[in-house]
Chain A
């Protein structure tokens, strides 16, 4: 799909507002192409619904799975379309939402007008609903033709079903499976400031900002800024970005970014064997993600902490279920009646558990269900945290050394992997994953602390880039000081916002420097990226076609 799309992308100019002569087949390859539309993520979908209709609406159902590309679902979103079965899933979810929005207990609050009769069509009220709600759902005002079509259909449905609200529900259900909602389009228009060049239109800019900073649809003020042209001016853009960066909704954007970067979508299919890990309950599984996201929000937004210290901070949050999983004493002074209450917790200074890599959201997510895997943990750390690529294993490989029964028993993962890694075909890759993964072997597959494996003491000595260290605490310090750490997150932030990798230009280097000068202040990085000229830049044909 990507290749097909890119080949096509390389040969066209976006049609919106483009002079007809430029679309001629004989013309040279155009200098700009519109960025690909991005299929919205399940997290974005849910947050948008909450922001448009309120938190009482349940978004029930399963979403079409996302595709990870270049380390992020947000980048994969430019490739994926909607399959037959996927659209059925969206349709089910949409109808569920629509039914709730128009049901008797919510309609007074969510429908901005009252029909003359609840059992007949009312075009005026339907028009008000379609115009106001449609603007938020489609992230742009609807055209008069779109409004008229929807009002007409709402009226026909209301007449057929003898129910005005059922008519609105049918239209809303449609809007929620329309490509205007399921894809974030990035339309372009001629740039009056630069004759002959193009720019993203205001609504596309608004939608990109809201998706990046809030993981949601633009609010009324942002859409108004798009309508007035404010987003096309430097001062106007800064006003909006500053407003958004200081809003509580920034937490949603930060959470969404890290859930993507840390691969939390894989939790959907993660299971642990209760026979081996009785404390890893369904409840605990859900809470492990929340623990890490709370740690991140607290450290990066509330405390405005250094991004690097996320990997060494002893501060976190626990519930009783998680405390049981980690086997740490959690003293609940406030309320004995709420077993799932989140309680701030700080590990003692000499405790080896510190930073988000020691949390179950990392060590359990990257372990098979019955035992730990230093290889998977090492691979995840390289790829998700440091943006380094680990090649896939080769096919048709002999495992004679591991499978030779005359060898002594390999009790620990280190022994098994050492034996495996002596195979030349395997050694190259395992050398870059296993040593760092072995330093986390004190965490079993569920994230619980352990000293021994199969009766043998676990050796957590390890090495990364020539630096020797021991255990999770040692790894945390080494990772914190690895130059790849901050470079990685900077690129991932840009890619999360734009759906593509950043260019290597002076402006980008300046952003990296400002991030360092700010002691790696994360909200500051998001603000810098949103304000950069690259954020709304149109990809050149050459860059897109790579």
Chain B
């Protein structure tokens, strides 16, 4: 790669300097020696990470493959993921240990799984995605994009170590406006002019953060801890404005999505939530491709899902408790309908990520998506045998295509593995019986 060609010059030549949004062909000179860079500067884009949460697990006996390793057959409830099997790692058998703490169903399991710490309280700090975002998430407009598909802004499982759970965006059109609205700058636009309004806001914000010292000096430490978290958020907002004042790197896969249609009324129908899911998935994929964020968190619902099938008065959650096991099928048929719907949604999302070409790989190949749930066997609201999937190989850092069964192990082993693959410097993770030091090294490439 001795020949230095500024991609901006190429683009200006192609577009005659006009700011036109197009899907761009990749040029050899834009790739590095491994063929895995796609910015004009030749810089390799940092890996990206997403979490995908669905409530109420999967039916016992209906999802866990009989075989382990690379040569396994997907069970019935996971069949929607068949086309992605080679790019997926499936974990089974992991559990969350309570160590005597009270079990707040639909919460405590996720608390252990996502933060490594079971407290018996509603405390929830330092979820895996934020630990990963600390490593890969800097330098983008949004530190993470968090959405929920059922209209509940509290359904998000992302929380920094010093603040509460992030509120989820519940409206696709609001998310579109937030990312691709007036403040969006097309990274492939030939021209760039900093917005004076943003410059003013950035300057004014710095005054708020400069008041930090005097404000802190007047307060006790209890207040300081709380305000520290506020000021961390303020810095994130400053960073967002700073990024808007810089010319973005061109990104080959970036195109601006079309504006979603107006939001549906609040509904508890699972099909409506999954339609919204697919819209969110498309917007998130575009946001990733356009460098607006490197981390996302999507929840279908809170763990205790109130979603229903059309014409049915009871919710998925109610059915997990009340629906009899069908004597012929051997499982709860109505619950199964929801699980299958969610897995189809998951497959749809992965398909979108795998359809975006970034150099010689797809976006999915360059990232990791972590799919998790609140319970093992939903009929029992169990904290054992969690179904968890990882998708993508993080630019070749992770081996995929296998089923790993480790009955009785702490489920936090998956979290530790995820962090290490994503570049978090950590050798042990979790508290009490959920503390682990042994990641699933078989997935390390």
Contacts and interface: CB of A to CB of B under 8 A. Distances in A.
Interface of A: 1-6, 8-9, 11-16, 33-34, 36-37, 62, 64-65, 67, 79-89, 91, 145-146, 149-150, 153, 156-157, 160-161, 166-167, 170-171, 173-174, 177-180, 182-183, 185, 187, 268-271, 273, 275-276, 282, 368-371, 392-399, 402-405, 416, 420, 445, 544
Given A62-B167, A86-B166, A393-B381, 20 more contacts: A3-B121, A9-B220, A14-B220, A81-B229, A83-B229, A85-B166, A160-B200, A161-B197, A179-B208, A179-B230, A185-B219, A185-B223, A269-B154, A275-B311, A368-B314, A392-B103, A396-B380, A397-B380, A402-B324, A420-B321
A420 B322 CA distance: 9
A160 B196 contact: yes
A174 B153 contact: no
A416 B203 contact: no
Contact of B162 (A81, A170, A187, A397): A81
Contact of B380 (A79, A157, A398): A398
Interface in B225-260: 225-227, 229-234, 236-237, 240
A395 B311 contact: no
The 9 closest A-B pairs by CB, nearest first: A370-B313, A9-B222, A81-B229, A14-B220, A12-B221, A369-B268, A403-B324, A87-B233, A371-B313
A222 B266 CA distance: 42
Interface of B: 102-105, 108-109, 121-123, 125, 143-144, 146, 150-154, 159-160, 162-167, 169, 174, 178, 196-197, 199-201, 203-205, 207-208, 210-211, 214-215, 217-227, 229-234, 236-237, 240, 265-269, 306, 308, 310-315, 318, 321-325, 327, 332, 375, 379-384
A83 B163 contact: yes
A34 B222 contact: yes
Contacts of A8: 221-222, 224-225
Contacts of B230: 81-82, 87, 179, 182-183
A448 to B, nearest CB: 14
B165 A161 contact: no
Contact of B220 (A34, A79, A182, A420): A34
Given A11-B221, A370-B314, A82 B233 contact: yes
A5 B222 contact: yes
B233 A4 contact: no
A179 B210 CA distance: 12
B161 to A, nearest CB: 10
Contacts of A368: 306, 314-315, 318
30 contacts: A1-B125, A1-B163, A2-B123, A8-B222, A13-B220, A82-B163, A82-B229, A83-B160, A84-B160, A153-B203, A156-B200, A156-B203, A161-B196, A167-B200, A173-B201, A173-B204, A174-B204, A179-B208, A180-B215, A183-B227, A270-B266, A271-B268, A273-B268, A276-B313, A392-B103, A393-B105, A398-B380, A399-B379, A416-B322, A445-B313
A86 B266 CA distance: 21
A2 B122 CA distance: 10
Contact of A370 (B208, B226, B233, B268): B268
B226 A37 contact: yes
Contact of A12 (B178, B222, B267): B222
A456 B14 CA distance: 74
A542 to B, nearest CB: 14
B237 A85 contact: no
A398 B384 CA distance: 14
Given A275-B311, A403-B322, A85 B146 contact: yes
Given A369-B308, A398-B380, A150 B220 contact: no
A36 B204 contact: no
Nearest to B105: A395
A277 B227 CA distance: 45
A3 B154 CA distance: 21
A15 B217 contact: yes
Contacts of A402: 321-322, 324
Given A67-B164, A160-B196, A87 B322 contact: no
A127 to B, nearest CB: 15
Contacts of B324: 402-405
Given A84-B143, A397-B380, A399-B379, A174 B208 contact: yes
A85 B167 contact: yes
A83 B133 CA distance: 14
A390 B315 CA distance: 22
A41 B287 CA distance: 31
A525 B351 CA distance: 61
B199 A160 contact: yes
Nearest to A37: B223
A303 B200 CA distance: 53
A87 B308 contact: no
Contacts of B204: 153, 157, 170-171, 173-174
Nearest to A404: B324
A136 B321 CA distance: 53
B193 to A, nearest CB: 14
A88 B237 contact: yes
A15 B318 CA distance: 52
Contacts of B223: 14, 34, 36-37, 185
A84 B233 contact: yes
B318 to A, nearest CB: 7
Contact of B200 (A80, A161, A180, A371): A161
Nearest to A64: B167
Nearest to B170: A62
A81 B164 contact: yes
A182 B122 CA distance: 23
A403 B325 contact: yes
Contact of A3 (B123, B229, B325): B123
Contacts of A146: 211
Given A3-B123, A161-B196, A170-B204, A87 B265 contact: no
Contacts of A91: 237
A271 B102 contact: no
Nearest to B240: A88
Residue in A65, A85, A161, A544 whose Cβ sees the most chain B Cβ within 10 Å: A85
B308 A370 contact: yes
A77 to B, nearest CB: 11
Contacts of B265: 271, 282
A1 B223 CA distance: 12
Contacts of A64: 167
Contacts of A89: 167
Nearest to B232: A84
Nearest to B332: A403
A75 B400 CA distance: 47
Nearest to A18: B220
A174 B241 CA distance: 14
Nearest to A167: B200
A392 B104 contact: yes
Contacts of A82: 163, 229-230, 233
A177 B178 CA distance: 18
B123 to A, nearest CB: 7
Contacts of A416: 322
A180 to B, nearest CB: 7
Given A16-B219, A399-B321, A86 B167 contact: yes
A395 B321 contact: no
A236 B152 CA distance: 46
A178 B222 contact: no
B150 to A, nearest CB: 8
Nearest to B145: A85
A403 B232 CA distance: 50
Contacts of A166: 197, 200
B151 A271 contact: yes
Nearest to A393: B105
Contacts of B222: 5-6, 8-9, 12, 33-34, 36, 544
A174 B211 CA distance: 12
A444 to B, nearest CB: 10
A235 to B, nearest CB: 29
B213 to A, nearest CB: 12
